[in-house]
Amino acid sequence: MPLLHRLKIWQKLALLVAVLGLPIGLLTYLLMAEKNLAIDFAYQEIRGTQYLQPVRTLLQHIAEHRGLSSTYLDGDASFREKITAKQDQLVADLTAMDAVDAQLGNTLQSNDSWPTIKTDWKNLKMAVFNLTAKDSFARHTALIGKLLDLTLYISITSNLVLDPEPETYYLMDIAINRIPILTERLGQLRAMAAGIIARHQFMENDHINLSKGLGQIEMMRTNLQGSLEAVFQANEMLKPVLGTQQAAFATSTDVFLSAVEQLARSDQVGPTLSPSAIFGAGTQAITAGFSLYDAAIPVLQDLLQNRIHTLNKKELITLAGVLAAVLLALLFAYGIGRLLVQ
């Protein structure tokens, strides 16, 4: 080629290095793009955990409101003040949810899910004292179902359900899937048991519903235990971090379920049974469950942050290595060219 003949030797060597560097540059670009995708993926997961924090609080407090309302509407007037206090607490919960939805809703494509849930809650709050216990339970449960649907939806749009690492995947499974659904079943059982005791009699299907709830909860506890064991198998260092909350949840749940099982086996509601006692036992178990949630989420976030840090570090090392190699190749070509010219 005439053009090549006109080039000096060092220029030819430089051109050769540049041509050989093109595929290296392309591979480097693809590698950097892949790592950046993984970094963005992890950041999106963190946004998902941040969005779901106030959702978790709403799940706990609306379930408590359901139990308090059921007990009041079934005949225990002492629960009315507790309902009002819980409604006041929920005002702050709604404010926190408004803030996180405004901050992250578009990024996580929450659409109009939260405004719809918020409107449903306001309507329920205004109507609750005029409902029957059955209708109140149904409307509360439907509202909580929407919060659980929102939790699942955000876990998808935030990539949480697609997490690629075993320890973080199972931590996600515990916090996003296992605990919210298990505590909801415990909350339903709490409301049913406290309502039965408040009205001092069993209604049709009460025994069946209690037994069914007990069976479902035992199955869910087994699934939760399986996910926890998977986390500990992937990272033994997490067992001391989560083990205390795990044990507290198991113990308090055993106490509550034992009381409900005794009630389910009874033909009549004993005069010594107290709605406040059964409600308190259920609340203690549910609170312990959410304490496990609260312990798991920071661990998950820390692991995701560590993954991002590691990916950034690898990205910088790779880029530095490629640049150093290119620079050395150019210097080598220049040196050979100078020797040939001399």
17-53 pLDDT tens trace: 666 666 666 666 666 667 778 889 999 999 999 999 9
pLDDT at 2 over 80: no
Alpha-carbon span 153 to 105, nearest angstrom: 12
Give residue-wise pLDDT tens across range 248-277: 999 999 999 999 999 999 989 888 889 999
Share of the chain above pLDDT 90, in %: 76
Give residue-wise pLDDT tens across range 215-225: 999 999 999 99
pLDDT at residue number 313: 87
pLDDT at residue number 221: 96
Q: Which of 55-59, 246-250, 299-303, 333-337 has the lowest mean pLDDT?
A: 333-337
pLDDT at residue number 38: 87
Q: Which of 103-117, 145-159, 313-327 has the lowest mean pLDDT?
A: 313-327
> CB within 8 A of 104, min separation 6: which ones?
47, 50, 51, 110
pLDDT at 15 over 90: no
Please provide the average confidence, as pLDDT, over all residues in the chain.
90
* Across 91-108, average pLDDT: 96
pLDDT at 331 over 90: no
Burial, 144: exposed, middle or buried (Cβ in 10 Å; 0-12, 13-18, 19+)?
Answer: buried
pLDDT at residue number 83: 97
- CB atoms < 10 A from the CB of 1, how many? 6
pLDDT at 89 over 70: yes
pLDDT at residue number 314: 83
Q: Which of 107-111, 142-146, 325-329 has the lowest mean pLDDT?
A: 325-329
pLDDT at residue number 4: 57
Give residue-wise pLDDT tens across range 170-223: 999 999 999 999 999 999 999 999 999 999 999 989 999 999 999 999 999 999
Distant-in-sequence contacts of 293-298, Cβ < 8 A, 24+ apart? 293/56, 293/174, 293/175, 293/179, 293/180, 295/241, 295/242, 295/245, 296/171, 296/174, 296/175, 296/179, 296/242, 297/49, 297/53, 297/175
Contact of 303 with 171, CB cutoff 8 Å: yes
Alpha-carbon span 166 to 174, nearest angstrom: 12
Start-to-end CA distance of the chain, whole Å, equals 25
